[in-house]
Structure 1
Amino acid sequence: MVRDAGLRDEVRRVAAAADCGLIEPAEPVGRQAWSATPLVVLDRAAALASVQAGLARRPGVLLVGPTAPVMADWQAATAVGAERVIGLPEGSAELVAVLGERPQSGGRDGAVVAVLGGCGGAGASVFAAALALTAQSTGFRPDVLLIDGDPRGGGLDLVLGIEDRPGLRWPGLVIEAGRVSAGALHDALPSAGAGLHVLSGERGSTAGGPPTAGVRAVLAAGRAAGDLVICDVGRAGGPADPLFLESADLVVLVVPAELRACAAAESMTATVAAHNPNQGLVVRGPAPGGLRDTDVARTLDLPLLASMRPQPRLAQGLERHGLRLRRRSPLRGAADAVLDVLAERPVARGRVA
């Protein structure tokens, strides 16, 4: 995102030397493109335009200029949250090194899925947990990071039956300098099986929504480490909710096959669309009025990712020991279908906008 023509040519030359592909998007740049790329390179004018457009602060932003940085460059960098300011061509070697550090095509860049309910009680938290368990058991990615983004959900550790396991929850996670190591995060969080790490909320007086800065750092760490990051997003409109939605490669809306649920989901679909065009539908039975999954998909104008019949004795299992999935369970089948869709949805990697 470099408006100065001469400076843009210099960035192209440096990127070629670093063997790094470039994306040069037309402005205005969409929120998802801004959030999804590993690194953003911009100049002073583009930085100020990004701030004016309300693009969220994110890691992996650097500002370049045609000379050694001056005060106006540092002010623009501070406004947009840039990590570095580099003057070109003098700083070409530094820029080559920065581009070389970023994940390249075929590297370990991860994927982010956001799951939320189209109405209250839709079962989004349970489906997010089922998606994480299925991904972990099938080896979809070496590590799966399940993030609790619903401060009123009671805690995903309860859904999985790991509430007594030691490890950090949101209130105890301290992010320094806006970054966190994925390895340290994996080690610090409670585990629900080999490679499945759970960042849960708390209950009682310590309950609260996840901090935006913490969400940004955790999502960036999961992506950089090659994790599958699954976010259980609340419906209350918390401050971090737009970040969850904008950062996702796919937003999964869970809707019961009921008329009122379908009506309630229409407003949620519009809310998601304002942040991310990549959303799909999971329809959950039973259908007391005979409403079909295709009817729900047609009404909401969303692609149907999966539909599932009721899972026998699900409520009893959640109360006694947390979620457990049989190989042929409806939740497992729907989760498999969503993972298949995600695997077939390529996302630009090793690119710089």
Structure 2
Amino acid sequence: MGPLAQGYRYRHHGRADVPGLDAARAGNARIHHTPGRWAAEETWPSPRITTRKFYLTKDGLESDAGDETARVLKPLQTVGITAPRWAARGEDIDTEAPTDQRIDDARSLTFDSEPLEADFEILGQPVVTLDLTVDKPVAAIAVRLNEVEPDGLSKRITYEVLNLTHRNSHEFPEPLESGKRYRIRMPLHDCAHVLKTGRRIRVAVSTTYWPAYWPSPEPVTLKVYAGRSELELPVRPPRPEDKNLKPFGPAFVPEPTSVRTVLKRAPAPTIENTWDLTTKKFTIRHVRDSGRSCIDAIGTELWTTESDVIEILDHDPTSAKIDAQYSNEMNRGDWKVRVESRLSMSLTKENFVLVGHIKALEHDVEVFTKIWDRTIPRMLV
């Protein structure tokens, strides 16, 4: 996991209205590195793995289901701030891993266990089963499994997002009926984790996970029936043979091809998150400049700049928009080329809209350009 504070700035217009922001920022520096070790089983699936069940109740995560209670989540489009980017790379890794989940937890339905009385280890695929209703024909559900430290720091262990129109089949999606009760079984991503004494297990549920996933066509109100919803954890009992396994060594990074800096880049990559209280708009700006470098083995100079702007209004899923611009330059001897590209993606209730522009230049003279504008039906997405 990586720190949110490194490379991030928050700007608030008017009074801040992001629940959990200050606490989340204070805890970010402690999510940079998670130690680990090898674990081994004779076969997989392992017959040693057992299931520990918790029920999502009106009071949290408990061993008894208790009475049925409906918990309602009103729509918010900005849940997902703490999720990583797709395809984080290089020096972006530190700032693009999952961060302190409290900002998103505060804007989701959450179910917490009591502090654990003993350590236990999970290995495999946790499963969350939700009894729920929604009020729109197209809706998604995002489920996160977090571990909460005594001071409130919330760490994401694993998660999953499901378009509920795919509840029965990815090949043949079906619209939902407003108010109809569905029982949705959601296996989360496989994981290996030791849940520590004194910490709490948290299940967090939302209908959005932006910008990792595009929002549904309309704001969705979710109702989860506590007392009828469940969490199953794949518990791995201690195995004495694990102590004989080779420990993790230091991270190994192969020696790169000799690359010499020709011109130092601008300031380090930045990600700026802006919350405008007046408009309820959330904006992410990511700027990266590689500087000019030379691959000595072939004498080629490279220079890449990138700029992404990602935005959404908290009350309007169709306001979601991504605008990405890239410039890649390569020089060697009397050869000098540059490719500039821009892609904008937005959406309506019915369609995705893509507008692209690519331009190739040689010695700063344009030799090729293409512009396209495509509309893609959403088809229950």
- Which structure features the higher share of helix residues? 1
**TM-score, shorter chain, exceeding 0.5:** no
TM-score w.r.t. the length of structure 2 is: 0.23
- Which structure features the higher share of strand residues? 2
TM-score w.r.t. the length of structure 1 is: 0.24
Q: Which has the larger radius of gyration?
A: 2
Which structure is richer in relative contact order (CA contacts within 8 A, separation 6 or more)?
1
